[in-house]
């Protein structure tokens, strides 16, 4: 009994229950050894359980590499949605601009090296600031700002939501903490909502309440063109608030050639230049015209059936070029976001400037003039877009974008443009952004879309817009 009394003070009460009674020393020590082994075993199991529950370490280099070109990818996703939704070229430029500005503003809020556009872009004020006492992953917040802004600007917002869901699943695989994920998503939403509120006051909605474009019987004025004879597209686009320009008419180009039907007139000679260019097309010029067609909605009629081909817009093509250049230059994430924001702003203002002139001069298209005064059976290579002739939109926006991209990446930046491959066309190679812009401009003559003055004056107009935007946004380059 003395042994039992001594042992009972060395074991727990629960164990004492088992040894109380007629037990031998051997039995008592066996119980103690079993209890000790159980404690070790339970401790090992607990350690394994705790280790299993502990979040895996975040591989920052891997997630940063993943995030490096996400904005390029998001712009490609947005382009696919825009193409499917069949937006007009000016509207496309607006969607790209606001979405890329939103993404950039998160960069600006997270880095002292990148200033905010607030106070510089017209009427943009008070970007929400993050709570820096909380953890954020800024690339995630930036892309959420992009997607949040894009959704209300498109019709197929569910496609943006699907892309966002997929993106979140991919980034969660890098084991960011729940707090970091939540804070980043919340902040991206706030910035996106702020940009959308700013966009809502740019005159876009108000333009639909303005009178429809009234066709003029005055000789030389624009008329709807075959095959659909569609009404004029975006006749009030010049009423939208520019991003940097002081007003839509700030860089009005030279006026078009005086209209005339006399065969000795400059206007008739200019129309014959278009006629001859299309009539005598070779393989290379045909390829150039088709590569830069960029008509978002080409109609086809077979009997009583009409169907459409959806393609990238001219602005979307240059957003693509910016993405290809970012990938080739292998710039950082922040630099890439800046390049796409600045390019999209330049394109948007170039469209406002171009459309201002289109509906001021409201000039007749080559197709209409040639069919009436030269050859009623003649057709352009490309389908004539449903808006007036002067100036060439491709010439204006391509030249403006080339000015900005050259400023950011250099005047000898050679690249392969693979943009049109998904639409069934081969890639083309260019020595510089100006090389690409000049080809885009002259392609409109080869396609039978524009007279030469619209192309030449359009190039000058685009360069003037691009140079002005570059100067006004010096602090961001």
Is residue 114 within 8 Å of residue 333, measured between CB atoms? no
Quick one: pLDDT at residue 50? 39
Quick one: pLDDT at residue 30? 45
CATH of 214-476, one of 1.10.606.20, 1.25.40.420, 1.10.357.10, 3.30.70.141: 1.10.606.20
Is residue 377 within 8 Å of residue 211, measured between CB atoms? no
Residue partners of 238: CB distance under 8 A and separation at least 6: 248, 249, 352, 355, 356, 359
Mean pLDDT of the 5-25 span: 36
Q: From CA 338, how far away is CA 437, in angstroms rounded?
A: 21
In this predicted structure, the answer to whether residue 26 has a pLDDT above a threshold of 60 is no
Top pLDDT among 432 and 20 is at 432
Which of 5-14, 214-223, 439-448 has the least mean pLDDT? 5-14
204-231 pLDDT tens trace: 999 999 999 999 999 999 999 999 899 9
Question: Residue 428 phi/psi, 5° resolution?
Answer: -135, 150
253-311 pLDDT tens trace: 999 999 999 999 999 999 999 999 999 999 999 999 999 999 876 554 555 555 456 78
Quick one: pLDDT at residue 7? 35
CATH fold match for the domains 60-199 and 214-476 = no
In this predicted structure, the answer to whether residue 450 has a pLDDT above a threshold of 80 is yes
SS3 labels along 216-250:
CCCCCECCCCCCCCCCCCCCCHHHCCCCCCCCCCC
Domain locations in the chain?
A: 2-53, 60-199, 214-476
325-379 pLDDT tens trace: 999 999 999 999 999 999 999 999 999 999 999 999 999 999 999 999 999 999 9
Q: Which two tokens stand for residue 104?
A: 């950039």
Mean pLDDT of the 443-462 span: 98
Which of 233-247, 289-303, 422-436 has the least mean pLDDT? 289-303
Environment class of residue 475 by beta-carbon count within 10 Å: exposed (0-12), middle (13-18) or buried (19+)?
exposed
In this predicted structure, the answer to whether residue 150 has a pLDDT above a threshold of 70 is yes
Quick one: pLDDT at residue 310? 77
Q: From CA 319, how far away is CA 324, in angstroms rounded?
A: 9
Percent of the chain with pLDDT over 70: 85
Quick one: pLDDT at residue 108? 97
CATH of 60-199, one of 1.20.144, 3.30.450, 1.10.10, 1.20.120: 1.20.144
> In terms of pTM, does the model score above 0.95?
no
Q: From CA 198, how far away is CA 120, in angstroms rounded?
A: 13
Q: From CA 439, how far away is CA 384, in angstroms rounded?
A: 18
Mean pLDDT of the 410-424 span: 96
Quick one: pLDDT at residue 371? 98
Average pLDDT, the chain: 89
Sole residue written with tokens 């980034």: 171
Confidence of residue 57 (pLDDT cuts 50, 70, 90): low
């Amino acid at each position: 009994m003395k042994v039992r009394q001594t042992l009972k003070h060395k074991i727990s009460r629960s164990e004492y229950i088992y040894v109380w009674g007629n037990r031998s020393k051997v039995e008592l020590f066996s119980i103690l050894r079993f209890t000790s082994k159980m404690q070790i075993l339970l401790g090992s199991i607990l350690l394994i359980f705790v280790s299993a529950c502990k979040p895996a370490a975040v591989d920052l280099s891997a997630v940063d590499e993943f995030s490096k070109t996400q904005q390029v990818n998001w712009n490609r996703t947005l382009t696919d949605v825009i193409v499917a939704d069949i937006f007009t070229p000016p509207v496309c430029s607006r969607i790209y601009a606001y979405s890329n500005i939103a993404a950039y503003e998160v960069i600006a809020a997270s880095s002292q090296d990148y200033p905010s556009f607030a106070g510089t872009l017209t009427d943009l004020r008070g970007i929400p600031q993050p709570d820096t006492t909380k953890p954020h992953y800024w690339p995630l917040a930036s892309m959420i700002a992009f997607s949040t802004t894009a959704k209300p600007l498109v019709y197929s917002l569910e496609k943006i939501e699907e892309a966002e869901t997929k993106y979140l699943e991919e980034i969660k695989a890098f084991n960011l903490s729940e707090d970091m994920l939540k804070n980043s998503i919340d902040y991206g939403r706030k910035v996106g909502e702020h940009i959308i509120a700013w966009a809502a006051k740019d005159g876009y909605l108000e333009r639909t309440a303005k009178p429809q474009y009234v066709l003029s019987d005055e000789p030389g004025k624009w008329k709807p063109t075959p095959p659909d004879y569609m009404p004029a597209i975006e006749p009030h686009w010049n009423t939208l608030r520019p991003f940097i320009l002081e007003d839509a008419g700030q860089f009005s180009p030279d006026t078009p050639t005086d209209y005339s039907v006399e065969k000795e007139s400059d206007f008739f000679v200019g129309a014959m230049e278009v006629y001859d260019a299309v009539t005598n097309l070779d393989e290379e010029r045909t390829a150039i015209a088709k590569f830069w067609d960029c008509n978002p909605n080409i109609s086809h009629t077979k009997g009583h059936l009409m169907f459409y081909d959806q393609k990238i817009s001219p602005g979307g093509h240059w957003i693509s070029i910016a993405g290809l250049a970012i990938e080739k230059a292998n710039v950082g994430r922040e630099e890439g976001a800046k390049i796409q924001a600045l390019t999209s702003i330049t394109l948007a203002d170039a469209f406002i400037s171009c459309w201002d002139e289109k509906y001021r001069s409201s000039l007749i298209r080559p197709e209409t003039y040639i069919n009436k005064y030269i050859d009623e059976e003649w057709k352009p290579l490309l389908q004539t877009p449903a808006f007036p002739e002067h100036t060439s939109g491709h010439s204006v926006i391509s030249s403006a974008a080339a000015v900005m991209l050259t400023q950011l990446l250099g005047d000898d930046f050679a690249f392969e443009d693979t943009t049109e491959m998904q639409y069934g066309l081969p890639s083309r190679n260019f020595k510089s952004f100006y090389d690409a812009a000049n080809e885009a401009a002259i392609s409109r003559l080869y396609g039978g879309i524009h007279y030469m003055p619209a192309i030449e004056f359009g190039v000058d107009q685009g360069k003037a817009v691009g140079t002005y935007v570059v100067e006004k946004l010096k602090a961001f380059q």
